[in-house]
Amino acid sequence: MIRIPVYQPDLSGNERRYVLECLESTWVSSKGHFIQDFEATFAKFVGAPHASSACNGTVALHLALLALGIGPGDEVLVPSFTYVASVNAIQYVGATPVFCDSLPDTWQLDPADVERRITSRTRAIMAVHLYGGACDMPRYVELCERHSLKLVEDCAEAIGTRLNDRHVGTFGDIATFSFFGNKTITTGEGGMVVCNDHELNARVRHLRGQGLAENREYWHDIIGYNYRMTNICAAMGLAQLERIDDILLRKSNLASAYHSLLKGCNVSLQEATKGEISSHWMVTVLAPDKNQRDRVRAALREHGIETRPAFHPVHTMPMYFTEAQLPVAQDLGARGINLPSWHNLPMREVENICKVIIDICTPTAPADSMS
């Protein structure tokens, strides 16, 4: 029995009241004021002029790539150490994902490896902000300007993450967010596409609504998609956003507790990119090796505590398998453990989790050294 999950949403604000308003008004589908309210409030929160909601984070990525015109014959550089949705969206538009390695300290996409893999077919870089951290966006902005590439930010795990006093998602051409149940704020299922350009935002909205032409009923002038968010989901999202500052503060305190309690233990924690303020979406540790990683997970499971492995590198999965040598990504995937990271996790449970990790991952001094 799982007593402590990896993540647990907090719906203790106005979620119930706003959802009941949707039910009582009968505006439960893809029309209703909560959609516009949520989009406007989210745009203001991240500091972007345009935000368009979608039914989940994966289709938000699909919309972003479609709106940029990326398709067959194009290559998109993407980290292998990421959730598979980042790569699937590239495949959806008929483009080719080119897998890149990660940095061993921040675990983010490695700019040097990205630059080495740019070819005449490269159209875009997808920078995935992993586990609440941030990629080195000034470096990617410079790379994309120099090589005339599009810059996509996958911010699914980075709601509240800032770099050099800017929210991630505002550096590139277009960015996406996820509001799945295990994200910093949730709509159950949901996503958002953010950009600075009015025409690009108009293309996103055109595509997400079945390609419906403006100012003509039931006339569709492109192949579109039914990727709209419902008013009910937006109502939840708006209520969640009302408490975002408190949620982020609590998550920061939680991450600090993990770091403090595990200091001196033989595990590694994610380091910050220069100028980063992390949202600490998922506290993750690297065990000394895969065997100890598995032992920690088994021991925590015996205590009713759920963990998850770090992402398996996507280039090792059957549908994307390549012989690419990405040693950092493979090492991170083999040793990483996602720990319970919801912002209301009791401190006594954090202490219990860390005790199990310390018992397994702290080396025992040889007997002769203690005499």
pLDDT tens for each residue of 316-342: 999 999 999 999 999 999 999 999 999
Token code pair at residue 216? 């003509």
Closest CA to 53 of 65, 67, 43: 43
Nearest to 296 by CA among 366, 206, 362, 213: 362
The helix-helix angle for 15-25 and 231-241 (nearest 10°) equals 150
Give the Cα separation of 47 and 259 in Å (integer): 30
Split at pLDDT 50, 70, 90, the class of 133 is very high
What's the pLDDT tens digit per position in 264-289?
899 999 999 999 999 999 999 999 99
Q: Give strand pairing partners of 71.
A: none
Q: Is the pLDDT of residue 152 over 90?
A: yes
Q: How many Å from the N-terminal Cα to the C-terminal Cα in the chain?
A: 44
Q: Are 151 and 144 in contact (CB under 8 A)?
A: yes
Q: Say if residues 302 and 371 touch (Cβ distance below 8 Å).
A: no
Look at residue 371 and tell me whether its pLDDT is greater than 60.
no
Tell me, what's the pLDDT at 367?
47
pLDDT surpassing 80 at residue 365: no
How much is the average pLDDT of 77-88?
Answer: 98
Res. 253: pLDDT tops 50: yes
**DSSP one-letter string for 104-132:** TTT-SB-HHHHHHT--TTEEEEEEE-GGG
Taking residues 127-140, report their average pLDDT. 98
- pTM recorded for the entire structure: 0.96
Q: Do the beta carbons of residue 139 and residue 107 sit within 8 Å?
A: no
In 3-state terms the chain splits into helix, strand, coil percentages (rounded to 5) of 40, 15, 40
Q: What is the pLDDT of residue 370?
A: 41
- Residues 6 or more apart from 69 whose CB is under 8 A from it? none
Residue 362's pLDDT band (cuts 50, 70, 90): confident
pLDDT over 90 percentage in the chain: 96
**Domains of the chain as residue ranges with CATH:** 15-241 (3.40.640.10), 244-362 (3.90.1150.10)
How many other C-beta atoms can be found within 10 angstroms of the C-beta atom of residue 49?
Answer: 13
pLDDT for 33-71, tens place per residue? Answer: 999 999 999 999 999 999 999 999 999 999 999 999 999
| Average pLDDT for the chain | 96
Rounded Cα distance between 53 and 277, Å, is 25
pLDDT at residue 366, rounded to an integer: 53
Question: For residue 290, what pLDDT band results from cuts at 50, 70 and 90?
Answer: very high
Cα 181 to Cα 178: distance, rounded to the nearest angstrom: 9
